[in-house]
């Protein structure tokens, strides 16, 4: 039986309300992130169906590791979310596993990736550095010369970007992103457009740690994707890394699906249909998130919809 999950909403100073279009009942007009699949302490998704209904994903991971192929990790390793950038996010960077463990007592650092769901005309992301060395980048941070420091990229719907740990980045105004990442919430802000909280205090920056972990990562920006047609369905492998593999499926009709690993994370980006798992039928709509576990042996996707499938 697949594990369907209740999303967790996070309000952000830069968030909006576009995620209402996904059928979500938002708590406010400033929701920046919907965590669709998460066992992280800052946003634990609740199981909505079956024998584990009402339990959180971290509980099921801890007590029923057999559902996940007995994967040898204390913490659930991946997280998915949708990000609504009404305004630009802070310019920030994430550490790798070793730095996060040493300095934050976290098991995972944060490599992530973005699928651009929607973007206003001319919308931009920040991806990587304009400098030729890390030393020069640190100088520019100290000088607060962000125009010289940051590499800006115009984006369009349907594009994909892999952001390894150490890559300075930001999602710009007017962009809606589906994001898969390591299960981490460690972020080091470098610049935040002088924004303040309701108290009038500026948001905290973490420049010293950011300078420790930033890398020249621009070479990862244009990773070639691999597309093939399988049984009249379009399968696009967006990235395969040490941290995760991401595949986008465009389902048209009926697909007999074989899981590539013991468990996979599935999100419905667009459209509707159903998934049939070991003979049981489950309705699928835009915005739903679920996990196919080791117990789910026979899976059929049926309908007209688009999926993102993530796995280790």
Phi, psi of 286 (to 5 degrees): -55, 130
* Residue whose tokens read 């339990």: 55
**b/e for 11-38, b at 16 or more Cβ within 10 A?**
ebbbbbebbeebebebeeebbbbbbbbb
pLDDT for the residue numbered 222: 67
Task: Give the pair of three-digit tokens for residue 251.
Answer: 């389902």
- Residue 189 known to be catalytic: yes
From the list 181, 19, 161, the residue with the least C-alpha distance to 84 is: 19
DSSP 9: E
pLDDT tens digits, residue range 265-277?
A: 999 999 999 999 9
The strand order across the sheet containing 124-129 reads 150-154, 124-129, 169-171, 91-93, 188-191
Binding-site residue numbers for Zn(2+) are 94, 112, 169
Q: What angle do CA 16, 20, 24 make, to 5 degrees?
A: 115
Interatomic CA distance for residues 69 and 56, integer angstroms: 18
Catalytic residue among 18, 65, 86, 189: 189
How far apart CA 156 and CA 154 sit, in angstroms, is 7
Let me know: does 124 contact 172? Beta carbons within 8 Å.
yes
Annotated binding site: 94, 112, 169
pTM over 0.85: yes
**Integer CA distances (angstroms), 216 to 2, 134, 146, 184, 208, in order:** 40, 7, 15, 21, 17
Q: How far apart are the first and last CA of the chain?
A: 20
pLDDT tens track, the chain, 312 positions: 999 999 999 999 999 999 998 889 999 999 999 999 999 999 999 999 999 999 999 999 999 999 999 999 999 999 999 999 999 999 999 999 999 999 999 999 999 999 999 999 999 999 999 999 999 999 999 999 999 999 999 999 999 999 999 999 999 999 999 999 999 999 999 999 999 887 878 899 999 999 999 998 777 676 778 899 998 999 999 999 999 999 999 999 999 999 999 999 999 999 999 999 999 999 999 999 999 999 999 999 999 999 999 999
Q: Which residues is 126 bridged to in the sheet?
A: 152, 170
Phi-psi region of 120 (alpha: psi -120 to 50; beta: other; left: phi over 0): beta
pLDDT digits 0-9 by tens, 16-51:
999 998 889 999 999 999 999 999 999 999 999 999
From 179, 133, 198, 129, select the one nearest 289 (Cα to Cα). Answer: 179
Are the CB atoms for 25 and 45 separated by under 8 Å? Answer: no
Contact 54, 142 (CB under 8 A): no
Residue 237 CB contacts under 8 Å (≥ 6 apart), including other chains: 225, 226, 227, 245, 246, 247
Do 295 and 3 contact (CB within 8 A), yes or no?
no
DSSP secondary structure string, 163-188? E-TT--EEEPTTEEEEEEEES----E
φ/ψ region of 124 (left if φ > 0, alpha if ψ in -120 to 50, else beta) reads beta
The span from the CA of 112 to the CA of 80, in Å, is: 9
pLDDT of res. 23: 86
pLDDT at position 223: 73
Show Cβ contacts of residue 131 under 8 Å, excluding neighbours closer than 6 positions.
137, 140, 148, 149, 216
Contact 186, 125 (CB under 8 A): no
151-187: burial string, b at 16+ Cβ within 10 Å, e else: bebebeeebbbbbbbbbbbbbbbbbbbbbbbbbbbbe
pLDDT of residue 292: 98
């Amino acid at each position: 039986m697949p594990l369907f999950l209740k999303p967790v909403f996070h309000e952000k100073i830069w968030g909006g309300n576009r995620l209402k279009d996904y059928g979500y009942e938002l708590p406010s007009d400033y929701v920046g992130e919907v965590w669709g699949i998460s066992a992280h302490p800052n946003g634990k998704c609740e199981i909505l169906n079956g024998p584990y209904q009402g339990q959180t994903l971290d509980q099921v991971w801890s007590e029923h590791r057999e559902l996940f192929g007995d994967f040898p990790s204390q913490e659930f390793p991946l997280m998915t979310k949708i990000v609504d950038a009404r305004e630009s996010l802070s310019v920030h960077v994430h550490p790798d596993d070793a730095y996060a463990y040493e300095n934050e007592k976290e098991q995972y650092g944060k490599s992530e990736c973005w699928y651009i769901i929607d973007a206003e005309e001319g919308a931009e992301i920040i991806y990587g550095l304009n400098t030729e060395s890390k030393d020069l980048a640190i100088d520019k941070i100290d000088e607060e010369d962000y125009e010289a420091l940051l590499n800006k990229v115009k984006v369009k719907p349907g594009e994909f970007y892999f952001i390894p740990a150490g890559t300075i980045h930001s999602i710009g105004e007017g962009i809606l992103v589906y994001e898969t990442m390591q299960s981490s919430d460690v972020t080091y802000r470098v610049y935040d457009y002088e924004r303040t909280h309701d108290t009038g205090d500026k948001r905290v920056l973490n420049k010293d740690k950011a300078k420790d972990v930033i890398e020249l990562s621009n070479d990862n920006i244009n990773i070639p994707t691999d597309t093939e047609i399988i049984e009249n369905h379009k399968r696009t492998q967006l990235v395969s890394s040490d941290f995760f593999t991401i595949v986008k499926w465009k389902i048209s009709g009926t697909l007999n699906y074989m899981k590539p690993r013991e468990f996979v994370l599935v999100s419905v980006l667009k459209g509707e249909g159903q998934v049939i798992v070991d003979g049981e039928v489950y309705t699928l709509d835009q915005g739903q998130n679920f996990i196919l576990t080791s117990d789910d042996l026979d899976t059929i996707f049926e309908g007209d919809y688009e999926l993102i499938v993530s796995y280790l």
